[in-house]
A = this chain, B = another copy of it.
Amino acid sequence: MRDIYTRKSPRSGDCLIDKMGYYLELSRQDIDHLADLQRQEQTWRVRDVVREMGAPTEMFYVVKTGWCFSYTIMADGRRQVLQIHHPGDVIGIPDIAYEHAVTGLQAATDICLCPFPKSRLDTIFTDSPRLTALIMTLGMIDHVVLLDRIRTIGRMNADERVAHFLLEILSRLRITNPDVGDSFELPLSQELIGDTLGLTNVYVSRTLSLMERAGLIERIDRSIRIADEQGLRDMADFQDRYYRIDTSWFPGGALEKLSAGA
């Protein structure tokens, strides 16, 4: 199911550096830059709103611990969850095009984020073309994951949507934590999952129960075991967008060639 693609930098225990280092051999300077983004920390409790829709977009955030999510709400209360953010993710880049945030940001668990001002990216852009290319590429991965989501919501039925969702979470987790195996904690309410997939909490509940009875997954509290990964992949037409990316065009090719043999 997975081939021999290998992590490019050793794990450090810092999730941003781990995520970046999964794709790229990081220089000492790159690591310093990434550490620099995480000097400030701030915590929120479950269900706290970190940033309202329409707030000025001065800050980006790096997720240090916990899960949070971006969403929009319509006047009558209908909510659509747009993205789930995990440790190591950088939040806010799409907002650079606008003066006010187009999405809200809320804590799905207790979380610790590292806010940093837009301007901090400038130094990275001028100092490290490789890191810049990686940041852009990670943005494009997010983009492609959104395309998958559109296909999922637009053309798949409930069980296919849920299957795809679970697999997407799993592959995302595997980047920073290769040891997850086939089970993981899913600290998201079924209402939130429904608002992500264009379903209701009620139907998510029914669907998960059915999938469990069908032997596709197992559940204990909020932990999920993917019992039949290939079965889920087949039904959801799933492709892993995180596992392997194309870095061949990145600047600084010499370094790249060195690590390509790994």
Interface residues of A (CB under 8 A from B): 57, 72, 74-75, 78-80, 82, 93-99, 102-103, 118-119, 136-137, 139-144, 146-147, 149-151, 153-156, 195, 197-198, 237, 239, 241, 245-246, 248-249
Contact = CB atoms under 8 A, between A and B. Distances in A.
List the 7 closest pairs (A to B, CB-CB), nearest first. A154-B198, A97-B140, A80-B151, A94-B143, A78-B155, A99-B246, A80-B154
How many protomers of this protein does the assembly include?
Answer: 2
A245 B102 CA distance: 12
A245 B80 contact: no
A102 B246 contact: no
A155 B79 contact: yes
A82 B136 CA distance: 21
A103 B239 CA distance: 13
A88 B197 CA distance: 33
A144 B246 contact: no
Contact of A118 (B78, B82, B249): B249
B144 A146 contact: no
Contacts of A151: 72, 74, 80, 82
8 contacts: A57-B246, A75-B237, A94-B140, A96-B137, A99-B246, A102-B144, A136-B136, A154-B197
A98 B139 CA distance: 12
Contacts of A119: 249
B198 A80 contact: no
Contacts of A72: 147, 151
